[in-house]
Amino acid sequence: MTKLAIMGAMQEEIDPLLEFFKEYKVVEYADNKYYETSYKGLDIVIAHSKIGKVFSSLTASTMIQKFSCDTLLFSGVAGAVNPNLNIGDMVIATQLCQHDLDITAFGHPNGYVPGGKVLVDSSKELLKIAKEVAQKNNLKVIEGIIATGDQFVHSNERKDFIEKTFNADALEMEGGSVAVVCDALNVPFFILRAISDSANGEANFDFDEFLHSSAKISSDYLVKIIDELIKK
């Protein structure tokens, strides 16, 4: 690893990281801001993509191709699908899918298009490091499948469909598309999400209340992972 990309979807998800690193240079490109910093000798580029699969694909591609990042970490919040997940719990993605990708009319399974995959695997090495860091710091971290779609899910019916179809544990709006970009460009990636809502009818209330605290939980853990990556 020579240059690290750190992404979030919203400004609130990267603000704790910018506060931690303190000094950075702002580069404006492709209608977005990229924050360049250095930490313990490692060059880092931080950005929030804006919400959704298109913007997150654009940001991930830019960080890899324009800024020459060779590893990508994503920190943010997600809604729980797995009933055992509570607000503030952290989920690290073993695999990611796009739950709203649907050409089933042509006989393909949900989440699949020709030339693509239903499930994209995260970097096994980054997952291993993340689990070691969690164990060392006595943090409760759950491995699972994260489902991505261009919709803020707030109905039990849709949540149940996603859980049954993809065996998903959490859902959000960017990780699956970032995974596709990184997989295609052979860049190791890691998606971390802190649970901010239960992805049911109460989602609007929960999300507003817990976005900031869950983003802080997620970013604190991410910094510990970066420290371990630097030692490798």
Query: Annotated active-site positions, please?
Result: 13, 197
164 φ/ψ angles, rounded to the nearest 5 degrees: -75, -40
CB under 8 A, 24+ apart: contacts of 164-167:
165/99, 165/110, 165/111, 166/97, 166/99, 166/110, 166/111, 166/118, 166/119
Which amino acid would we find at residue 58? L
Identify whether the C-beta of residue 33 lies closer than 8 Å to the C-beta of residue 47: yes
DSSP 3-59: EEEEEESSHHHHHHHHHHH---EEEEETTEEEEEEEETTEEEEEEE--SSHHHHHHH
Which helix (H) or strand (E) segment is 166 a member of? helix 156-166
What are the residues whose beta carbons fall under 8 Å from the beta carbon of 210, sequence distance 6 or more?
A: 77, 87, 88, 196, 197
Q: Which two tokens stand for residue 58?
A: 């654009």
**Torsional sign, CA 31, 17, 183, 176:** negative
